[in-house]
Structure 1
């Protein structure tokens, strides 16, 4: 899974993490067109990436980040950008990411991108949910939080105010928690393990 985030040689137990914030993009009619996601990579991973980029000859940090952003986008495209979106329980087909950037922010590697829905949908009277997770649980993805409580800005709705926003915590079976805890530093879980540890963003406009 490290290859999904670029060319770094870091290997880690699934306790590498990404801090996530999401802005749901809608127009004035309440039609949702996509999710603007911000991923903040954990400090250790970020440090290694920045050190590697600084060792590349004839390239500035900004140029290296531009190339890394493209690598991340390209690598994630085969995995639906680790994102599942549903409306009223029906999974939505996602489009290709064309707007993205990678940058350094407060010592953290930050990847921002707009993930479009292939077919924009009205939110009026509907409920949108999403999850962002690594299937093998190599990386843990959690919404931006303080004192184990998601921040208000971790989930924002742009353009349609009459909806209830919430972030539902994961509630994995204790046996799955044990399975994840027993993974070694270079091991990943079985495909699908990460889903059980994924938080759910919910935009309820019913």
Structure 2
């Protein structure tokens, strides 16, 4: 639903850009939440949208017509949950793993939204289906495998609930993402002569994604 609505907005506002990926740029920030037993229990995720997509959403909702960057209380209330996806299988574009094995997360919940300096800022909570032992190093990535959205993580994840953790953040490779997407699309078009490039959905996995490793306790 999120992807379909975005495509409709882009096609309406600027048909030329509908053929270019990614369509949206999001700066992600993650606050990792540890429980009283020192286990990783959840994460607060913040998405800061690019100026253009923020403008599209505000225009679609009929908000901030004077462009002063200020929303009325009524507009702010209407904005809440604008990017919540009702699909229970939506992965939330946050991926955690321990020893190479995926960590199961509950769907995104408790969405809030605001407008900050002309950019939409959305927050939500993810819970782990089973808390992870804090002694286990955790690998974290934020990415869109379809490369519809280009996620970056400018700052290292923040730790909440422990003071004995270290975070090693590694920047991704934007060129690798773009090249992997182009290769996947070309392959899809070669397999289906009737396919329309702007509607092709591919999966490039975590290629070029920003990532971080969190280590707590003696290993930190």
TM-score range, shorter chain: 0.7 to 0.9
Map 1:35-114; keep pairs closer than 5 Å: 35-54=43-62, 60-68=74-82, 72-75=83-86, 77-114=88-125
Tell me the residue number matched to 1:155: 157
Tell me the residue number matched to 2:146: 136
Instruction: Summarize the Cα distance change of 1:74–1:54 in structure 2 as closer, same or farther, 3 Å threshold.
Output: same
Provide the C-alpha distance between the structure 2 equivalents of 1:90 and 1:179, rounded to a whole number of angstroms.
Answer: 23
Tell me the residue number matched to 2:168: 166
Provide the C-alpha distance between the structure 1 equivalents of 2:200 and 2:209, rounded to a whole number of angstroms.
Answer: 14
- What are the Cα deviations for residues 89-125 of structure 1, in whole angstroms up to 9, with x where unaligned? 221111133322122122111110111101111212x
Provide the C-alpha distance between the structure 2 equivalents of 1:47 and 1:194, rounded to a whole number of angstroms.
Answer: 29
1:169 deviates by 2.1
Aligned CA-pair RMSD: 3.1
Map 1:170-189; keep pairs closer than 5 Å: 170-171=172-173, 177-180=178-181, 187=198
Match 1:197 to one of 200, 208, 213 = 208
How does the TM-score come out when normalised to structure 2? 0.73
Structure 2: which 5+ residue stretches go unaligned? 12-17, 64-72, 187-196
Asked which structure has the greater CA Rg, the reply is 2
Instruction: Indicate if the aligned counterparts of 2:81 and 2:112 stay in contact, CA closer than 8 A.
Output: no
Give 3-state SS (helix, strand or coil) of 1:178's partner. Answer: helix
Q: Which has the higher contact order (CA 8 A, sep 6+)?
A: 1
How does the TM-score come out when normalised to structure 1? 0.77
1:75 deviates by 4.2
Give 3-state SS (helix, strand or coil) of 2:10's partner. Answer: coil
Provide the C-alpha distance between the structure 2 equivalents of 1:14 and 1:7, rounded to a whole number of angstroms.
Answer: 11
Instruction: Indicate if the aligned counterparts of 1:85 and 1:128 stay in contact, CA closer than 8 A.
Output: yes
Provide the C-alpha distance between the structure 2 equivalents of 1:103 and 1:116, rounded to a whole number of angstroms.
Answer: 22
